[in-house]
Structure 1
Amino acid sequence: MISKADSIVIGSGGLGAATAYYLSKRGLNVVLIDKHDIGSQTSPRAAGMVSCVRKSDLMIGLIKDACRKIEAFTEDTGQPLDWVHSGSLKIARRPQDAEVLKADFERGRRMGLDVELISPEQASRLNPFLKPMGVAAAMRIGDDRYFDPAQVAAGFARAAAAQGATVLPKTDVLTVNIAASKVTGVTTAKGIIEGPIVVDAAGAWTREVAEISGIPVPLVPTRQQLIVTEPLDGVRADLPMVRIMDAAVYTRPCQGGLLWGVYEETPRFFDMRSLGAGFDIKDMPLDIEVLRSAAREVRDQLPILQTANVREFRGGIPTMTADGHHILGPASGATGFYFASGCNVAGLSISPTLGEALATWIIDGKPAIDLSPMSVMRFKDQSWSEPELQREAAWQYRHFYGAV
């Protein structure tokens, strides 16, 4: 058991493993700790979709950088990553969402993305599983892609180890030790590790790790579910992904079938402490009726979702914030305590960029670009009751695609 480190990263999902890799690459002695197997929880259960048309210039710039890092992942880390540059189709079914789509198009074009407003019929020709009935407007995003979600966190963790990081699976962190408002290390179930920097990247357990250390963080662990169908005639790996704005339904090719899911209107939230110390994401209770209801809602546009046989039904627990933005950077009141969380169902795709940005922030004292919109400090004058926080988080979850 290692007893000292320059920095300790708690959680080996995409954000934590990427941060550990980039810290190690900069020469720090890093420990990457997880209470479960490395990269085994929500990250490998994600959809693995990269959406480049985001709601701000900052996020578009960050995701463009993440795309470059995804393309160079194997060359940079020495680890495999299977990805497909498929492009995507964003679909508006209501006039008010068509107006949002126009604004998305203008923002994307200004930021140098390959975007195009097309007719419903053109969209259907690009992906025949999408039918034009009931479609008010469509946008093609050529920059979008998807990847194998199981390879990202595990790949970054292995690459960090190759750089000299110590990787500790199945090691529970009991508390982050803080003295005189400064981090001094962590106490684990296997002993104390001293170190001046701790990154809370514990995914669904982020809040638990922070709060047992006396640091509040306003995010909510939220259930996300998806289906992978059996192989279907006509599915090709390069078919563009589809996102239907108001229904918050998405789909992409996956191993000859379709992977699809929904950001439901009333998602289930979790208090991770109430689930017990031995809880594993694979044991999360699932509800396939949520997906069946979503399939009925888009039956005119994606009729295949109602009839395709289910090969895999899985779920994860991403973390949602009240404003839909990630939480990245230093905590308030404890020098050396950093967050890498609040993924808002889009953390894995951007993890290469956020991991490098946080490593730069830690080592150089500031990130390479202004990331204050992601700082937890933005919440310092906000106080929500738990029901209020959940209500705001649920709205952000359902409206991830910008529907009015």
Structure 2
Amino acid sequence: MRTKPDVLVVGCGAIGLSVAYNLAMRGMRVLALDRVGPGAQTSARAAGQSVIAQTDPAMGQLMHRSIETIAGFEDNTGVPFKYHQVGSIKYALADWSASQLSREVERARLLGADVSMVALDDAQRIAPHTNADVAVAAWHAPNDLYFSPPDMLAAFYSVAKKAGVEFQFGEDVSDIVIDAGKVAGVVTGSGRIDAGAVVMTTGPWTKELLARTGTILPAVYVRHQYSIRSGVPGIHPGLPSVRIVDHAVYARPVGANLMFGTYEPHPLEFKAVPKRAEDVPLDGAAIETALQKVNAVFRGLAGSSVVELRGGVPTMTPDGSYLIDEVEVARGLYFATGCNVMGLSCAPALGEEMAAWLATGQRPEVLKGFSIRRFADRNLSSDEIRRKALGEYEGIYRDTETAGHIRRYGALPGNMHAG
């Protein structure tokens, strides 16, 4: 008979695997459940980019530590984790976006990030697959890195197993058991599983599960997708990631191919999230539209071919920040969701902080700003939550001073719903 775990982690994406591993490293008995398998849902479909130029102090701290963890992973654990610390370039194509880049650099440097404005000639040298002549300004972050998401997921799964985490796959949680104001476990298709504490790291499926406790998460779910393209000349793994503020696009090498993605002006929104990420409907039209807007920046992009179209379901919140908390009516029931497309890149540090919280009973300082209680006095209607959260997705590359520069191309709002 299985020993009752100290902690049950529900959801084995990047954050769940990191939480489980770090809990086990603190000597706790950990059981991790997943409907499919380790990292088999949205995490595996992320872009796999770590961006050190954050402007929020908590996000900056989490990102810095996550990059350090990734860079030292193999030395510290003995488990291989391939990554490319080749930096990144961010371009502005207009005066308004150039001003934003300057603000980004100023704010990021205050948080200790190594990021600076660079001459366009230098940007061209660093990213020779681009045409800096069409840009107005650029910044460079030499310590940014990228990696293949499956590599991160496999690495954390491996170290978690080595640390003693027990895994159980093919389990669909249908209910949360609460006894006298404290979580007692969960119910799955194979029966009840008791645990001393439960951590929900179930991404876009968290909202439905927590609603069973009366906890309503201010979040919406959208499709994010990108294409892998062949035929772009000069692409190799040593090139930096490239982002363009004006059209919210990003690109990075995938071997000799190029990953090209965009944050759509009118993303497909899910009222009911598909149970499996492979069931997310994909449509590359918005990517092709964005490509036409920036093909002058990337040499040969216009003539490239789509090798693969990938998509997942990120969770968006009204202020673009995580939802990380303990459920008020169920002590010992924790959740970490609201990735706002930044779940994978900060997962290493988030797992450490969540494990510290459960082990000590004290919420770490860096997580305090992500409490759901920050919305308690805002009285947001469901329409306001939806509008603000969708705005965070569409405007992810804009700061508050450039919020008025909205892209007008893309699908119409009437085509936003699925499920």
Interval of TM-score (by shorter of Structure 1 and Structure 2): over 0.9
Counterpart amino acid of 2:115?
Answer: V
Tell me the alpha carbon deviations over residues 284-312 of structure 1, each in whole angstroms, 9 at most, x when there is no partner: 10011011011012123235332211111
Equivalent in the alignment of 1:260: 260
Equivalent in the alignment of 1:234: 234
1:301 aligns with 2:297: yes
Equivalent in the alignment of 2:331: 335
Equivalent in the alignment of 2:183: 183
Q: Partners in 1 of 2:154 and 2:377 — Cα distance?
A: 37
SS at match of 2:226: strand
Does the C-alpha gap of structure 1 residues 40 and 78 become closer, same or farther in structure 2, counting only changes over 3 Å? farther
SS at match of 1:389: helix
SS at match of 2:62: helix
Q: Partners in 2 of 1:272 and 1:40 — Cα distance?
A: 19
1:136 aligns with 2:136: yes
Q: Partners in 2 of 1:304 and 1:200 — Cα distance?
A: 44
1:373 aligns with 2:369: yes
Q: Partners in 2 of 1:15 and 1:272 — Cα distance?
A: 22
Equivalent in the alignment of 1:61: 61
Q: Partners in 2 of 1:245 and 1:114 — Cα distance?
A: 19
Equivalent in the alignment of 2:206: 206
Does the C-alpha gap of structure 1 residues 232 and 212 become closer, same or farther in structure 2, counting only changes over 3 Å? same
Q: Is the 8 A contact 1:329 1:361 kept in 2?
A: no
Equivalent in the alignment of 1:102: 102
Counterpart amino acid of 2:139?
Answer: M
The partner residue of 2:349 within 336, 349, 353 is 353
1:117 aligns with 2:106: no
SS at match of 1:83: coil
Equivalent in the alignment of 1:83: 83
Does the C-alpha gap of structure 1 residues 328 and 75 become closer, same or farther in structure 2, counting only changes over 3 Å? farther
Aligned pairs, how many? 400
Q: Is the 8 A contact 2:15 2:351 kept in 1?
A: yes
Instruction: Give, in angstroms, the shift of residue 77 of structure 1.
Output: 3.8
Q: Partners in 1 of 2:381 and 2:299 — Cα distance?
A: 41
Deviates more, 1:110-119 or 1:80-89: 110-119
Deviates more, 1:239-248 or 1:373-382: 373-382
1:385 aligns with 2:362: no
Counterpart amino acid of 2:263?
Answer: Y
Q: Is the 8 A contact 2:44 2:149 kept in 1?
A: yes
Identical counterparts, % of pairs? 35
SS at match of 1:314: strand
Tell me the alpha carbon deviations over residues 212-233 of structure 1, each in whole angstroms, 9 at most, x when there is no partner: 3332111222211011112543
Counterpart amino acid of 1:108?
Answer: A
Equivalent in the alignment of 1:243: 243
Tell me the alpha carbon deviations over residues 288-341 of structure 1, each in whole angstroms, 9 at most, x when there is no partner: 101101101212323533221111111111111111111223233321111111
1:400 aligns with 2:399: no
Q: Is the 8 A contact 1:175 1:213 kept in 2?
A: no
Instruction: Give, in angstroms, the shift of residue 3 of structure 1.
Output: 6.4
Counterpart amino acid of 1:10?
Answer: V
Does the C-alpha gap of structure 1 residues 3 and 222 become closer, same or farther in structure 2, counting only changes over 3 Å? farther
Equivalent in the alignment of 1:219: 219
Q: Partners in 2 of 1:382 and 1:269 — Cα distance?
A: 23
Q: Partners in 2 of 1:30 and 1:289 — Cα distance?
A: 43
Q: Is the 8 A contact 1:205 1:272 kept in 2?
A: no
1:322 aligns with 2:315: no
Instruction: Give, in angstroms, the shift of residue 62 of structure 1.
Output: 1.6
Q: Partners in 1 of 2:310 and 2:187 — Cα distance?
A: 33
Q: Partners in 1 of 2:77 and 2:386 — Cα distance?
A: 38
Does the C-alpha gap of structure 1 residues 286 and 116 become closer, same or farther in structure 2, counting only changes over 3 Å? same
Equivalent in the alignment of 2:340: 344
Equivalent in the alignment of 1:292: 288
When normalised by structure 1's length, the TM-score is: 0.94
Instruction: Give, in angstroms, the shift of residue 113 of structure 1.
Output: 2.4
Q: Partners in 1 of 2:353 and 2:322 — Cα distance?
A: 13
Q: Is the 8 A contact 1:133 1:300 kept in 2?
A: no
Equivalent in the alignment of 2:29: 29
Q: Partners in 2 of 1:3 and 1:385 — Cα distance?
A: 44
Q: Partners in 2 of 1:154 and 1:190 — Cα distance?
A: 26
Deviates more, 1:69-78 or 1:254-263: 69-78
SS at match of 1:177: strand
Tell me the alpha carbon deviations over residues 234-272 of structure 1, each in whole angstroms, 9 at most, x when there is no partner: 112121111111211000111111111001111112133
Q: Partners in 2 of 1:209 and 1:74 — Cα distance?
A: 35
Q: CA RMSD of the aligned region, Å? A: 1.8
Instruction: Give, in angstroms, the shift of residue 107 of structure 1.
Output: 2.3
Deviates more, 1:76-85 or 1:61-70: 76-85
Equivalent in the alignment of 1:14: 14
Q: Is the 8 A contact 1:177 1:213 kept in 2?
A: no
Q: Is the 8 A contact 1:224 1:263 kept in 2?
A: yes
Deviates more, 1:132-141 or 1:33-42: 132-141
Deviates more, 1:382-391 or 1:203-212: 382-391
Q: Partners in 2 of 1:12 and 1:323 — Cα distance?
A: 25
Q: Partners in 2 of 1:4 and 1:382 — Cα distance?
A: 40
Q: Partners in 2 of 1:256 and 1:144 — Cα distance?
A: 20
Deviates more, 1:77-86 or 1:36-45: 77-86
Q: Partners in 2 of 1:76 and 1:375 — Cα distance?
A: 31
Q: Partners in 2 of 1:97 and 1:233 — Cα distance?
A: 27
Counterpart amino acid of 1:192?
Answer: R
Counterpart amino acid of 1:173?
Answer: V
Counterpart amino acid of 1:352?
Answer: P
Q: Partners in 2 of 1:127 and 1:314 — Cα distance?
A: 25
